Structure 1
Amino acid sequence: MVGTTFVLSGCTFKDIDKRAFVTSIGIDQSETSDKKYKVMIKLAIPKGDPKQPESDFVILTSNTDSITEGLSLMKSQIDKELVFGHTNSILIGEELAKSNIQPILEFFVRRPDIQMTSYISVARPNSFEVLNFKPAEEQVSGNFLKSFFDFSKTESPYIDSLFLFDAYRRETEDGINITMPIVEKKKTQLEVDQIALFNKYKMLMELSTNESETFRLLTTGIYKGNLNVRNKNGSYVINLEKGKSKYKLIDNNRSIKAKYTIKIKASIEEKIDGLANISKSEISELRRQLENKIDADATNLLRKIKKHQIDPIGFGLRYSSRESENGKKLLWNKKYAKLSFNIKSKVEIKGTGLIH
């Protein structure tokens, strides 16, 4: 009887103290003229006491011609194995975002160890400044940045969060373009109150804070927004408790129109000129004024976006899904140039919120 011996190789398991968890990745243009990218990763350093609210981190950097090479070189900068499974944020520096982001998206969606649900955004002035920001309290390094985009932690009317999988879909799908939030490093804080608009390759324009709120209203809807209104009776702060919209494309061969219907529930939160009773006629006047302002702001924003020949809302995708002709992309390009907008908003002011 002949005995056979099998040699089984064990798994390459490493203890947790031999691993370094990457929470955020940043890509900037290289600081050296002979390299293309400055690649950065933010590593969380766990504390011994989980009750301590403070966290610490390390940022590793590498100037390279490819992201793959940069991440490989970083392995020589630390005595631990880099683990990307907990990466929740990807930052692209503003200067790089204005050149070409396609290779960056192509790389990340092909990395099986990076989550497709990672948030992606534009960093101002660059990714390094944003990654290097340290909040006063943070249990896990990198979660502070993630919390800006997590709807369970923030309800800002200005933030339009973007997942990695959706960014790649918008980059490859005809009829829709990329929108990214802009994370800006100020002196002592981070601010996320603007949206960047892209074509298929690069950032073409940025929206102001008010335009970002209007854009959110036209797409995903808003909660807890506000508008300042002034008329002959005084100045008011209107709380937009909830706003949502829907549209349909009306194609008459010679012309095409996007007909929007916007519904908003609001309340009068503050009268800047002082507390006073507000009559029903005054509330009706404020409602009409609000509707006119929202109609005008939405129309102006849509026209401004169309001038840049980009389609972040996805009118082209909606049109293509309902048409069966060949050459739909070429046909839509001609249609989009003629697209007009009809905005009709309806505001319901529930109450004043003032002391009578």
Structure 2
Amino acid sequence: MLSMLSLSMLFVSLLSGCGFKDMDKRFIVKAVGIDKTNDQDNPLRVSLKLAIPSSQIKPGQTNTFQIVSDDAPTITEAVRHLKSKVDKELDFSQSKIIIFGKKLAEERLNNETIDWFLRKREIQGMTFMALGDPSAEQIIKIKPKSERLPGDSLFLSFDQEGTESSFIVTEYLFDFHRRLSEKGLDPYLPVIRPLNDMYLIDQVAVFDKEKVKDILNPEETRVFNELSKKISKFEIETRTDTVQFALSVSKFGYTYTIDDSKTTSPVLSMHMKMRGQAAESSQSFNYSKWSLYEQEAEKEAASRYEKVLMKLQSIGVDPLGLGLRYRATRHNSEKEWEQWLALYPLLRFHIEVNINLLGSGGIK
């Protein structure tokens, strides 16, 4: 009986000594923003979006949050000092998005910058990543009227649970980390811009292994999303002297090969297949000219893909992983990487698109 009592007392003492804290003694960190400052001693500004729980959420009323920021030489030091500005423990287990400021990304964004997030056990590899323009702090301060929970608008946008847009590119922490070190696969991040009390996400920033090289415009971003994610729902506009219409694509896929038999003029041949129907047209569709409509749309589609591929080539980045594919299909150890570095600037793109126009849409 005495031994059982001793064991019970020991168990209770162990529980009282553990680090567990009740939810009412925690601040849930929903988003993290990292910016560059002009202070050489404290070059990083860390901003946290803290959710303030409410007993009930009324229709049309957004949940409240608190923003805390601190400047420090490292993220670790900033978070440690931020704890002195709040009355509860910071809980990062529900952090779903990390935003880096544009100024920081243009100067340096590498494995050293994201090291803290990789080592923090509470932060998941599936955490979304993005670039904030002009700064990460300004982005996380936005409070959309439609948002019921802090950061909810961004989460719904990126995981496609809410809106489904061909302009929105999604990137995760684990994938960004892999791209920073993988040969033949460069990083990218979606760009979030403020638009009054809303977010605008229709651009993507492409990186080398250290910093931003360029930001694609919305149309280029949409094409990049189609190529990188092979999304199946998007629109292609065809405007020629003979026909003008928008094609709503419902199925899309492609394959490609790289021919380096002629080292002075290597060729990437890409074959695409897509199906869809007319979403909008300035004229009536004539079934006798059905093949003409498909041919015109194929030319337009091939041109838009070729332009984006050539732009990425001119910038000197490879976020689509063409170099990784080249390395995987050759077996010359490190030589294939050196070969790819020499071939990529010379690569010519041959795009062949096959479009199956299913119908002209419903006219009521």
Residue identity opposite 1:148 in structure 2: S
| TM-score where L is the length of structure 1 | 0.92
Counterpart in the other structure of 1:350: 358
User: The residue matched to 2:69 in structure 1 has which SS?
Assistant: strand
Match 1:36 to one of 43, 49, 66: 43
Q: 1:149-164 maps to which residues of 2 (within 5 A)?
A: 149-164=158-173
User: In the TM superposition, what is the alpha-carbon distance from 1:51 to its structure 2 partner?
Assistant: 5.4
Read off the aligned partner of 2:276 and give its amino acid letter. A
Alignment match of 2:190 (pick from 181, 192, 202): 181
Is 1:293 the counterpart of 2:339 in the alignment? no
CA shift digits 1:217-269 (9 cap, x unpaired): 22212333223333345642322233222222223152432211111112111
SS in 2 for 1:219: helix
Sequence identity (%): 28
2:33 to 26, 34, 39: 26
Please give the residue correspondences for 1:1-356 in structure 2 after superposition, counting only pairs within 5 Å: 7=10, 8-10=13-15, 11-50=18-57, 53-102=61-110, 103-232=112-241, 235-252=244-261, 254=263, 255-272=265-282, 277-327=284-334, 328-355=336-363
Farther off after superposition, 248-257 or 125-134 = 248-257
CA separation in 1, counterparts of 2:307 and 2:239?
A: 20
Q: 1: distance between equivalents of 2:289 and 2:200?
A: 36
Aligned-pair CA distance for 1:94: 0.9
What is the letter of the counterpart of residue 72 of structure 1?
A: R
1: distance between equivalents of 2:289 and 2:54? 58
Distance (whole Å) between structure 2 residues aligned to residue 32 and residue 187 of structure 1: 29
Unaligned runs of 5+ in 2: none
Choose 136-145 or 158-167, whichever is displaced more. 136-145
Aligned 8 A contact 2:57 2:63 in 1: no
Query: How far 1:170 sits from its partner (Å)?
Result: 0.3
1:337, distance to aligned residue in structure 2 (A): 2.5
CA contact (8 A) 2:243 2:293 kept: no
Stretch deviating more after TM superposition (168-177 or 307-316): 307-316
Q: Which amino acid aligns with 1:22?
A: V
Structure 1 residues 111-156: Cα deviation after superposition (integer angstroms, max 9, x where no partner): 1121111000111111111101111132321121111110232321
Tell me, what secondary structure is at the counterpart of 2:168? coil
Asked whether the equivalents of residues 102 and 132 of structure 2 are also in contact (C-alpha less than 8 Å), the reply is: yes
CA contact (8 A) 2:266 2:346 kept: yes
> Structure 1: how far apart are the matches of 2:330 and 2:20?
53
Contact 2:236 2:247 in 1 (8 A): yes
Q: Normalized against structure 2, the TM-score is what? A: 0.90
Shift of 1:215: 1.3
CA distance in 1: counterparts of 2:362 and 2:242, whole angstroms: 15
RMSD: 2.1
Structure-2 separation of matches of 1:65 and 1:25: 16
Q: Is the 8 A contact 1:249 1:258 kept in 2?
A: yes
CA distance in structure 2 between the aligned counterparts of 1:100 and 1:330, rounded to whole angstroms:
25
The 2-side partners of 1:228 and 1:175 are apart by: 32
1:55-87 alpha-carbon deviations (Å, 9 max, x no partner): 111011001111111111110111000000000
Q: What 5-or-longer segments of structure 1 have no aligned partner?
A: none
| Higher helix residue share | 2
Judged with a 3 Å threshold, the aligned counterparts in structure 2 of structure 1 residues 58 and 217 are, in CA distance, closer, same or farther, namely same
Q: Provide the C-alpha distance between the structure 1 equivalents of 2:80 and 2:118, rounded to a whole number of angstroms.
A: 18
